[in-house]
Chain A
């Protein structure tokens, strides 16, 4: 691998960023797969390698256990499982990767939702010996619910099924049948052995029948340029910048991260909730004025007219406004030990708004193994997914989650403990 891309600033600036989430059951080799990717892309340093080598020897393991590279906290080392979302980093000359490594076992589904919320791609592992299990269905469903644009199914432990094409094809068609009921677009299947390194970074010599790419090649080349919404202009105002000095006496800048669309200098815009209109006078940054702003840029917008704008407001195009709503239909994933309370009141965060809401109705609970809608059992506990109706104390400026992940997502906060207790996706 050429070092040039890493050492030349010019080359380094051509790299893009891909965030992906990994999911798998406890024993299907997820940690080994990540360890293998880090190791084969030369992202493991000598002292890290020495440390896991020593640990492997102390435990009497055969060879160096690459899974140890991703083991984080003491509790999980003791139990041999991952208990929380851990973030890993590696880069190739084409891309930088951020892995949200999430646990597979049942009681920590909430962590997979968390990891999935910012991912461009989900990597799902299936043990070739076992085929599709409950966990696989659960993870595929969450990936579709969270609208992760790309899905990669790694059929792992191919070495244990004699690299059989038949085993691979069987799992592939079984998954296709199941995925037909889900909202997923881009699905790729790759037969691998994380332990032996087949088709992870290097092409396998044991599977001539496989014509596709390696996992790393796919991660480096999957098209992510359309993952943001560039159509519907939305900028939630985070903070108002007022310098209070002589040089910038009348400066009033609206700071925020563009959540959708392309804003240009001179565009006619509307501010919600006031409905006042104005024109973009300037899009400012520390490095100077820029002509256009689009996701995921953080900018400061200045308007022609002196209108009252504060945190929680949203700057949009006059002819393309989000829904201004107090009553919302939401798919919620529950995160807390304390179950969702029917008629319960919660704090709610959406874009830069902080409001309160009441759960007005629980429509149904989703059985995430069968995708069946259960309208009888409305007891929503940790790791459950349900469709609910809520009413907020103030109008929110929303799009459906399908249309825009930034303006279509909310979190619920318990008003007594301040814990984040649930995540919601707005249904349009």
Chain B
């Protein structure tokens, strides 16, 4: 068959993700998009828009708000929700702390990251969501390399890496018992560079944090962190103005910035293509132990 009947790898990935998103709409009663405000969930939401065009996205967006977010990320989220005309549900970590659902960590490295798990599971349960779509990619981290598109979770929201359902061809088995739910990862097969090239191709707007800007930062354990009301400085840490950007968006106290002059998407693509550190390499939460991600996944994290 001639070259005419061929689509390039970005379009093939796009087509696969659209197929998965449509399967979710067809197989589940009450699916939701887990929207973090990061580039991966932005791309996933863009793909959902394409999958159901000209109809609206048939899912609400769920944001787990740690209360430690970058203000730029929240502003972006609110604008997007308005533009899409979909419902936004916020699961608040602060409310979880206030109600006693979770207990805040103490000390210099206190993070609300681990508290997200309980708040997320609580939000899924309260809203009776039976499928939660996330923008995780298999190339991000080694525990994620084994994740399925349709990932079954038991009634405690737990992932059992030894007992995953085999996933063959285009056949996705979303059958479940009462109280169980699924995590769905429509962009499993995309790499970081695929995401950036696709953002360029589709001209998808992003929060300004991804582009180079001046910010007051300090360095802790080799990670550049933003100064904010949410972190306590150690005596020897000093705040300086740096030219930085973010490669992932998480909580302000734990998301590391990189020194960067990249001020356009094209600059970022050049940076990503030549960089020598993986994107999660900047996240202090993965460094706690060699199996940090696997431990959190089993407990029901993203």
Task: Check B277 against A45 for contact (C-beta < 8 Å).
Answer: yes
How many residue-residue contacts, CB under 8 A, span A and B? Answer: 196
Knowing A46-B277, A420-B165, the reply to whether A14 touches B8 (Cβ < 8 A) is yes
Task: Check A225 against B171 for contact (C-beta < 8 Å).
Answer: no
Task: Check A98 against B189 for contact (C-beta < 8 Å).
Answer: yes
Task: Check A96 against B194 for contact (C-beta < 8 Å).
Answer: yes
The B-contacting residues of A in range 270-295, CB under 8 angstroms, are 284-287, 294
> Contact residue range for chain A?
35 or more
The A-contacting residues of B in range 81-106, CB under 8 angstroms, are none
**What 0/1 readout, one digit per residue, does chain A (219-253) give for beta carbons within 8 Å of chain B?**
00000011010100000001101111001100101
* Residues in A neighbouring B167, C-beta threshold 8 A: 114, 420
Task: Check A286 against B16 for contact (C-beta < 8 Å).
Answer: no
**Whose C-beta in chain A lies nearest to the C-beta of B53?**
A286
Instruction: Please measure, in the bound complex, the distance between the C-alpha atom of A257 and the C-alpha atom of B14, giving whole angstroms.
Output: 11
Instruction: Tell yes or no: B128 within 8 A of A by CB.
Output: no
The B-contacting residues of A in range 370-405, CB under 8 angstroms, are 405
The A-contacting residues of B in range 1-39, CB under 8 angstroms, are 1-3, 5-16, 18-19, 22-23, 25-26
The A-contacting residues of B in range 182-202, CB under 8 angstroms, are 188-189, 191, 193-194, 197, 200-201
Knowing A243-B54, A298-B15, the reply to whether A225 touches B3 (Cβ < 8 A) is yes
Instruction: Tell yes or no: A89 within 8 A of B by CB.
Output: yes
* Residues in A neighbouring B278, C-beta threshold 8 A: 45, 47-48
Instruction: Please measure, in the bound complex, the distance between the C-alpha atom of A15 and the C-alpha atom of B200, giving whole angstroms.
Output: 16
Residue of A12, A71, A230 with most chain B CB atoms under a 10 A cut-off: A12
Knowing A87-B138, A285-B53, A286-B50, the reply to whether A16 touches B6 (Cβ < 8 A) is yes
Instruction: Please measure, in the bound complex, the distance between the C-alpha atom of A74 and the C-alpha atom of B169, giving whole angstroms.
Output: 28
Instruction: Tell yes or no: A91 within 8 A of B by CB.
Output: yes
Knowing A73-B146, A241-B52, A257-B15, the reply to whether A118 touches B161 (Cβ < 8 A) is no
Task: Check B1 against A226 for contact (C-beta < 8 Å).
Answer: yes
* Residues in A neighbouring B5, C-beta threshold 8 A: 225, 228, 230, 262, 294
Instruction: Tell yes or no: B120 within 8 A of A by CB.
Output: no
**Whose C-beta in chain A lies nearest to the C-beta of B137?**
A89
Given contacts A6-B193, A418-B175, 18 further A-B contacts (CB under 8 A): A3-B273, A46-B276, A47-B278, A72-B142, A85-B166, A89-B139, A89-B189, A95-B9, A96-B9, A114-B166, A225-B1, A230-B5, A248-B55, A257-B170, A351-B170, A405-B169, A411-B173, A418-B173
Interface residues of B (CB under 8 A from A): 1-3, 5-16, 18-19, 22-23, 25-26, 49-56, 138-139, 142-143, 145-146, 161-162, 164-171, 173, 175-177, 188-189, 191, 193-194, 197, 200-201, 266, 269-270, 273-278, 281, 290-291, 294
Interface residues of A (CB under 8 A from B): 3, 6-7, 9, 12-17, 45-48, 51, 55, 71-75, 83-89, 91, 95-96, 98, 110-111, 113-114, 117-118, 225-226, 228, 230, 238-239, 241-244, 247-248, 251, 253, 255-257, 259, 262, 284-287, 294, 296-298, 300, 311, 335, 347, 349-352, 405-406, 409-411, 413, 418-420, 423
